[in-house]
Structure 1
Amino acid sequence: MMFLIAGEVMFFAALVSGFFVLRLAAPLWPPPLQPRLPVFVTGLNTLVLLGSSIAMLGATRAVGRGERSRALRRLALTAALGILFLAVQGYEWTRLIEYGLTTSSGAYGGTFYTLIGAHAAHVLGALIWLAVTLTLAARGRFLDGRTAVLRACAIYWHFVVALWPVLYVTVYLI
Structure 2
Amino acid sequence: MTAGSSHPRPSETPLSHRIVLNARHMPSYSYGHRSPIWWGTLSFAAAEGMGFVMVVGAYFYLVFINGNWPLSAPPPDLLWSSLFTVLMLASIWPNQMAKRDGEREDLSRSRRDLVIMSLIGLALLGIRVLELGTLHVRWDQNAYGSILWLLLGLHTLHLATDLGDTIVLTVLMFTRHGHGKRFSDVGDNAFYWYFVVASWPPIYVIIYWFPRWW
Assess if the C-alpha contact under 8 Å between 1:45 and 1:85 holds in 2.
yes
Corresponding residue of 1:135: 171
Corresponding residue of 1:88: 127
* Structure ranking higher in helix proportion: 1
Assess if the C-alpha contact under 8 Å between 2:78 and 2:208 holds in 1.
yes
Q: Distance in 1 between matches of 2:96 and 2:176?
A: 19
Assess if the C-alpha contact under 8 Å between 2:99 and 2:186 holds in 1.
yes
Assess if the C-alpha contact under 8 Å between 1:15 and 1:115 holds in 2.
yes
Q: Distance in 2 between matches of 1:4 and 1:144?
A: 24
Matched, 1:15 2:15: no
Corresponding residue of 1:69: 108
Assess if the C-alpha contact under 8 Å between 1:68 and 1:140 holds in 2.
no
Matched, 1:154 2:190: yes
- Runs of 4+ with deviation above 6 angstroms: none
Assess if the C-alpha contact under 8 Å between 2:80 and 2:130 holds in 1.
no
Matched, 1:106 2:142: yes
Assess if the C-alpha contact under 8 Å between 2:91 and 2:120 holds in 1.
yes
Q: Distance in 2 between matches of 1:152 and 1:59?
A: 10
Corresponding residue of 1:28: 68
State the 1:144 CA deviation. 3.3
Assess if the C-alpha contact under 8 Å between 1:39 and 1:172 holds in 2.
yes
Assess if the C-alpha contact under 8 Å between 1:63 and 1:142 holds in 2.
no
Q: 1:146 to 1:117 in 2, by over 3 A?
A: closer
Corresponding residue of 1:4: 44
One-letter identity of the residue aligned with 1:152? D
One-letter identity of the residue aligned with 2:161? G
Corresponding residue of 2:98: 59
Bigger Rg over Cα: 2
State the 1:146 CA deviation. 5.3
State the 1:72 CA deviation. 1.4
State the 1:112 CA deviation. 0.7
Q: 1:146 to 1:88 in 2, by over 3 A?
A: closer
Corresponding residue of 1:173: 209
Matched, 1:37 2:73: no
Q: Deviations over 1:66-110 (max 9, x none)?
A: 4322221211111111111111111121344xx4x1012211111
State the 1:141 CA deviation. 4.3
Structure 2: which 5+ runs fail to align?
Answer: 1-39
Q: Distance in 2 between matches of 1:95 and 1:37?
A: 6
Q: 1:88 to 1:15 in 2, by over 3 A?
A: same
The TM-score normalised by the length of structure 2 is: 0.72
Structure 1: which 5+ runs fail to align?
Answer: none
Assess if the C-alpha contact under 8 Å between 1:53 and 1:78 holds in 2.
no
